[in-house]
Structure 1
């Protein structure tokens, strides 16, 4: 690991705390009203119990990352729905795709708990209307708005829209998205 990479990882928690603090100062009242009450479930249990994340939960189990999202955290998972996986190449839940599934998952997980109110507050305070967050895969997710929709864009240009209701779990946040944030490798 290079010194530059180590420095980025060392600064990641500080950046996330600053991003979270932006939302803690009281964003718009309508943003605060959309934040769900914390659940007693972990992120892993939330994904398992929610009907629209069956494929993601299967990939999570195959990649042996379930313990991570059942652990202490906090994490934010930008969770693609089952429908988002229909356009993917290969079955990431298949044993032969374990490494690709793990890489895809890490590109959808951010350390720290980020609610939509946090993201929107950081975008408005940043001046540019965008904000970047580093994933567990060491890639960047860029958030922006198109009308009222919050758009998240991966390093490779893959784009998704934050959809549905976020779930604040005991160890982080599940943010549903309508597409994969990486293009999976062909099988």
Structure 2
């Protein structure tokens, strides 16, 4: 009898270890879109190979949240589709316990995947390029699958400064950063979180405030560094009531409601990942409390 039990247990273990990451994706039941796209890109045999691989697998809901035109573009452009899918795969096997905050994991497509771990309060949140890991550590004989709730994209490339320079909606911010002599700093290793006001956000300032700041480098630097956090804070890592210390030295406060996420009185409209951090796009310029009356009412 003991022999029979041992044989059955061995068979179960052997069966589990026979599964590839593709088999695991199929068994999860939440990855039908990803599996179909992997087939369209001709990547099935590669992911059934020796590996090992770490797969960050967007759920069906993650793909359903994408604009339909974007999905059509991916389906019709195999080269682009392959680049995007390979950005979700890293060589080697990394369980959740192997992942560290701000770890940069090389992907099969080339660009690195930034891992962040937010454990200031329960539950701990693990993100890959800001995409929350919802079901980690689904193991296979040739790697591991971590289910994520967003699709990751390898573009745009570059630092937070490069991204801002490449977007016309940040032209006022780029001018201000250059005037304050902060380009080299924000092009450094980081990581940084930049709460980036759009041109429209700067246009909401009272008349004369922006011109005054551009003529006063000390005040301008004080305001701009109030928009920067040391460390990469994706929206998944922000919690209601968080008070986060800026490079300027004073705290900003995170507020969450059914209307979205805010930093102080600015709404976060979007986030963009860069090689040295993340840009959080905001609709209002943040003014340090110590400067608020002077700038806004004088």
**TM-based fold match above 0.5:** yes
SS in 1 for 2:173: helix
Tell me which residue corresponds to 2:266: 160
The 3-state SS of whatever aligns with 1:40 is coil
Residue ranges of structure 2 left out of the alignment (5+ in a row): 1-116, 136-147
- In structure 2, the residue matched to 1:185 is 295
Separation in 1 of the partners of 2:231 and 2:212?
A: 25
Q: Report the aligned-residue RMSD.
A: 2.8
1:103 and 2:222 matched:
yes
Aligned residue in 2 for 1:13: none
1:47 to 138, 148, 164: 164
2:229 aligned counterpart, secondary structure: strand
Contact 1:76/1:111, CA 8 A, preserved across alignment: yes
Superposition deviation, residue 112 in structure 1: 0.4
What is the CA-CA distance between 1:36 and the residue it aligns to? 5.2
- The aligned runs of 1:138-157 (5 Å cut-off) are 138-153=249-264
Could you tell me whether the CA contact under 8 Å between 2:118 and 2:126 is conserved in 1?
no
Q: 2:188 maps to which residue? A: 71
More strand by share: 2
- 1:60 equivalenced with 2:60 (yes/no): no
Q: Deviations over 1:69-97 (max 9, x none)?
A: 11110000000000111132132673x22
**Which whole-Å CA distance do the structure 2 matches of 1:36 and 1:174 have between them?**
15
- What SS does structure 1 have at the residue aligned with 2:254? strand
Structure 1 position 34, deviation (Å)? 6.4
Larger Rg: 2
Question: What is the TM-score when the length of structure 2 is the normalising length?
Answer: 0.47
Distance 1:33 1:92 in 2: 41
- 1:123-152 CA-to-partner distances (Å, cap 9, x unmatched) read 2xxxxx421111001111111112141011
* CA distance in structure 1 between the partners assigned to 2:149 and 2:156 by the alignment: 17
Inter-partner Cα distance in structure 2 for 1:112 and 1:79: 15
Instruction: State how far apart, in whole Å, the 1-side matches of 2:249 and 2:201 are.
Output: 22
3-state SS of the aligned residue for 1:91? helix
Runs of 4+ in 1 over 2 A off after TM superposition: 16-23, 25-29, 34-40, 183-187
Q: Secondary structure at the match of 1:141?
A: strand
Instruction: Quote the residue 1:156 is aligned against.
Output: none
